[in-house]
Amino acid sequence: MIQVAIMGFGVVGSGVAKIIEENAALLKTRLGEEVNVKYILDIRDFTGHAMAGRVVRDFAVIEHDPDVKVVVEAMGGVHPAYDYSLKAIRAHKSVVTSNKELVSLHGRELLVEAKKAGVRYLFEASVGGGIPIIRPLSDCLAANKISSVTGIMNGTTNYILTQMKENGTPFADALSDAQARGFAERDPSADIDGKDTCRKLSILADIAFGYQVDPNEIYCEGIRNISPRDISDATEAGYCIKLLGHARVDEEGITPIVAPFLLANTHILSGVSGVFNGIGVVGNMVGETMFYGHGAGSAPTASAMVGDIIEACEVSSSPVLWEEKAPEGYIKDVTTCPFARYLRVKGTRADSLTTLAECAVRAVSHEDETAFFLPPMTDDEFAVILKMIPELTVTSSIRIFTPGEFVPKNG
Ligand code: HSE
C-alpha cells in the first residue's frame, strides 16, 4: 500500500483525497498497489468528516513515519510550506505540490534537494490547474529550443473578464462568484493584480529557457482597472481583453510580461473563456503548440496532483498498455450517436423542402441550393427524413461536433 500524507485540507487537498477515494480501483491498476491517505495535516479538525481521524497537527508525525512515501503539499504560501517540503524531501519522501508561489521562488532549490535525496519534487498542478503543461514542456518538447510561452494562466481573472464581456456582470460580483466556485487564491489580489500569473509564467520560463526567472522582477499589470467601456470598445473593434503572461527569448535574453491585452478575435487564445486556461508554446522544431483546459478548481487541480503521485511512485510495469480485446459491445457503434448536421441540398426553399425547413434550427438560401442546420439525430433518423423527400439531391452533409451531445442514444 502506498501511504500518502496531505498537507492542507482546503479546496485542493480535499480534492486530492476525493480522487484517491473515488478512483481507488483505477489507481490500483496503474500502480499495482492501493493508495491510502494516512495523514492530513491541518489546523482545523474536520469533525464529522469521514477522514477526521487522520488529521494531525504536528508535521513531525509525517516526517518521522517511514511508511509515508508521498507528501501532497496543498497549503499555499511560502512558510511553512517551504520548510515542510524541504524536511519531507530530506526524509526521503517525494513531494507533490500545487503551490506556484513556492515553486516560483524555491523550486530549483527543492529540485536539487530531491535529486540528492533520490526522490521527486513534482509540481504539474502549479501552472494551468488540470492542464498538462509542466511535463510536456520539460519532457515531450525537450528536443526544442523554446522561443516563447504565451498564455491565459489565471482562471479567476479570465472568469471575471468573460463574465464582464458576456453578461455585463460588475467586476466585484464576478470576483465573488469566482471565489465561491473555489477558483480564487486565499487572497484574491494575487489573481486580480497579476501576481499569480507572474508566478506561473516564472515557472514556465525557468523550464523553457533554463534560467531562474524571479516572479517579483516580471513586469506586471493586473485587471483591476479594466472597465466595461474598455470591453465594449474592444468588442466593437473585433477584440477581446485577456490577462496574458508572455515570455520570449532571443540572443539577448528573456522578455517576460504579465498584463491585460486586447487580443484579436481571430487569435486562438481569444476562444479561451471562463475559468479555462490556454497556454501556447513555440519550439524551433515543433512550431506552435497549444495546451488548454480547466485552469483552477478543486477537481482539475487535484487531478494534476494525483497524476504526480502516480509519477512519484515507481510503477511496477509500463503504465501504457491495454487489454487485447474489449468486452462485447464496449466499443460502441457511432451511428447510434445523435449529431447535429449541416445539410445542403439542390433546390430552393420554395421547392417544397418544407420537411427539412420544419425540423431545421437554421436555414440559408443560396441561388440554387438550400443549407439546413439540423438538430441532433442518429444516422437512422436522418435517413428516414431524407427518404420522406422524393428526388432530393444532397450536395453536402457534415456532422457538427458538439461535445455535450456526443452520447449514444439508448446507450
Ligand atoms: N487562483 C488561481 C486561478 C488558481 O484562478 O487560476 C489556480 O492556480
Catalytic-residue membership of 200: yes
Tell me the C-alpha distance between 295 and 158, whole Å: 10
Distance from Cα 154 to the centre of ligand 1, integer Å: 5
Enumerate domains of the chain plus CATH numbers.
Answer: 2-129 (3.40.50.720), 143-293 (3.30.360.10), 334-405 (3.30.70)
Please report the pLDDT score of residue 377 as a whole number: 92
Please report the pLDDT score of residue 279 as a whole number: 97
Distance from Cα 263 to the centre of ligand 1, integer Å: 21
Active site residue: 200, 242, 332, 387, which one? Answer: 200
Nearest CA to ligand 1 atom 7: 296
Q: Pull the grid cell for residue 362.
A: 437554421
Best substitution site from 75, 154, 157 to test ligand 1's pocket, by max atoms within 8 Å of Cβ? 154
Please report the pLDDT score of residue 354 as a whole number: 78
Distance from Cα 136 to the centre of ligand 1, integer Å: 20
CA distances to 119, 371, 381 from 376, in Å: 51, 16, 10
Q: Tens digit of pLDDT per residue, the chain (411 long)?
A: 999 999 999 999 999 999 999 999 999 998 999 999 999 999 999 999 999 999 999 999 999 999 999 999 999 999 999 999 999 999 999 999 999 999 999 999 999 999 999 999 999 999 999 999 999 999 999 999 999 999 999 999 999 999 999 999 999 999 999 999 999 988 899 999 999 999 999 999 999 999 999 999 999 999 999 989 999 999 988 899 999 999 999 888 899 999 999 998 989 999 999 999 999 999 999 999 999 999 999 999 999 999 999 999 975 444 456 677 778 887 778 788 788 899 999 877 655 577 788 888 888 888 888 889 899 999 999 999 888 887 789 989 988 876 544 344 443
Pocket around ligand 1 at a 6 A CB cut-off: 129, 154-156, 183-185, 191, 196, 295-296
Distance from Cα 232 to the centre of ligand 1, integer Å: 26
Please report the pLDDT score of residue 335 as a whole number: 82
Burial of 387 (C-beta count, 10 Å sphere; 0-12/13-18/19+): exposed
**What's the predicted TM-score (pTM) here?**
0.88
- Ligand 1: atom nearest CA of 185 is 1
Tell me the C-alpha distance between 353 and 130, whole Å: 48
CA distances to 81, 176, 232, 255, 391 from 163, in Å: 34, 12, 13, 30, 49
Please report the pLDDT score of residue 188 as a whole number: 94
Residues forming beta bridges with residue 288, ordered by sequence position: 282
